Amino acid sequence: MNTLEFVSHSTNEVYRFSKNNTFYFLRISAKPLAYAEKIHAEMEWVHDLVQHGVNASLPILTKDQQLTAVYEKEGQYYMASVFRMAPGKFFDKGNPHLWGTNIYHAWGETMGQMHRHSKSYKPLLKGRQRDHWSKSEFSNPNLQHGKYRVLLEKLQSLEDQIDSLPREENAYGLIHNDFHPYNFMIDGDTITVFDFDDCIYAWYALDIAIATVHAVWWGSPGEDRKSKNEFARRFLDDFLAGYFKHHPLDFHWIQRIPLFMDYRNICSFFWWLQDWDGDEGKLNDFQRNAITEAVKIISDGRSFDGCEIEM
């Protein structure tokens, strides 16, 4: 373990290390002890996906054959998990080998395999499972005024629509919930997905929408609204061609993908704002400009860039 190297710290601390010429990631989560069950449920599902042929980053068992290890220090609990490093490279918008039809198709295939298996997957312990999708609960008083209230009301409106949707067996199950281009590696025409720590029970169409929104954000050839909408349509054609090889989804759910895309777009603002203290000086130029543009789009009754498509 003398090769241990710090990688990142956002929701979790992540380190990379090598052993016997193989690279691994160590993820450490500082959470209340009760959350250990949620992490174990995540790891159990990912391990099961790999066992069923899905290209995902393999969780490694501890010496006592567990998927997680829990440590306590001064009243704080730490959950440690280890994954085999996925082979390949990250996407590159300017490289046709790392971004284009073949990648979108493989991305869709991988998600289709995951959703197919999700339909039959049962946790080993009934009480040890991931959460179900639910409406956001924001009590931040700084979001109750002006343009921030416009964003909050848009989020609540979309969540009301989503919450009314049926949770059908063929359309709702355990999903990745963050399957974007920085959460998979590309090796030829194969992709390997990782970072399942946002996985929840929700609609399969939401998982597809999340992939599409991020593809538009980071991979559209043009930055104008027309280009993004055209790219979203082309991307989904290729993605769904791969997806449908492994998992059918009724057309009325495909038609709801733009709704879920709009929802993912509005959620992005609350990644910054949910704990915001009301000091606009703490928002950077990009965030301030994005909020201004979003409020204009909402006030005009339009959807976000990329979502103005008919399925």
Query: Would 72 be classed as within a structural domain?
Result: yes
Query: Would 69 be classed as within a structural domain?
Result: yes
Tokens of residue 249, six digits:
């989804």
pLDDT of 33 over the 70 cut: yes
Same domain, 110 and 244: yes
pLDDT of 1 over the 60 cut: no
Antiparallel, parallel or unpaired: β 13-19 and 22-30: antiparallel
Same domain, 169 and 289: yes
Same domain, 56 and 202: no
Quick one: average pLDDT of 27-49?
Answer: 94
- How far is residue 138's CA from residue 127's CA, in Å, rounded to a whole number? 27
Residue 138: its pLDDT value, please? 87
User: Is 131 within 8 Å of 35 (Cβ atoms)?
Assistant: no
253-264: burial string, b at 16+ Cβ within 10 Å, e else: bbebbbbbbbbb
- How far is residue 189's CA from residue 186's CA, in Å, rounded to a whole number? 7
- How far is residue 309's CA from residue 311's CA, in Å, rounded to a whole number? 6
| Confidence class for position 10, pLDDT limits 50, 70, 90 | confident
Same domain, 169 and 39: no
Tokens 């399969």 sit at which residue? 204
Sheet holding 76-84, edge to edge: 5-9, 13-19, 22-30, 76-84, 69-73
Mean pLDDT of the chain: 94
Query: Would 246 be classed as within a structural domain?
Result: yes
Same domain, 134 and 76: no
Residue 147: its pLDDT value, please? 94
- Express as a percent the part of the chain with pLDDT over 70: 99
Query: Would 281 be classed as within a structural domain?
Result: yes
Same domain, 114 and 14: no
| Confidence class for position 58, pLDDT limits 50, 70, 90 | very high
Report the number of distinct structural domains present in the chain.
2
Query: Which of 245, 250, 172, 178 minimizes the C-alpha distance to 211?
Result: 178
Query: Would 43 be classed as within a structural domain?
Result: yes
Q: Domain residues for 229?
A: 101-299
Query: Would 92 be classed as within a structural domain?
Result: no
The domain spanning residue 24 has which CATH number?
3.30.200.20
- How far is residue 150's CA from residue 129's CA, in Å, rounded to a whole number? 35
The domain spanning residue 218 has which CATH number?
3.90.1200.10
Alpha-helical segments (H) within the chain: 36-51, 101-118, 146-163, 204-219, 225-243, 251-254, 257-273, 285-299
Instruction: Provide the whole-model pTM.
Output: 0.95
User: Is 212 within 8 Å of 265 (Cβ atoms)?
Assistant: no
Same domain, 293 and 236: yes
Same domain, 52 and 108: no
Same domain, 135 and 240: yes
Residue 11: its pLDDT value, please? 81
Query: Which of 93, 101, 90 minimizes the C-alpha distance to 220?
Result: 93
Query: Would 229 be classed as within a structural domain?
Result: yes
Same domain, 71 and 204: no
Quick one: average pLDDT of 194-208?
Answer: 97
Same domain, 183 and 154: yes
Domain endpoint, select from 84, 116, 142? 84
Quick one: average pLDDT of 204-224?
Answer: 97
Same domain, 74 and 144: no
Domain endpoint, select from 34, 57, 84? 84
DSSP 246-260: T----HHHHTTHHHH
Query: Would 90 be classed as within a structural domain?
Result: no
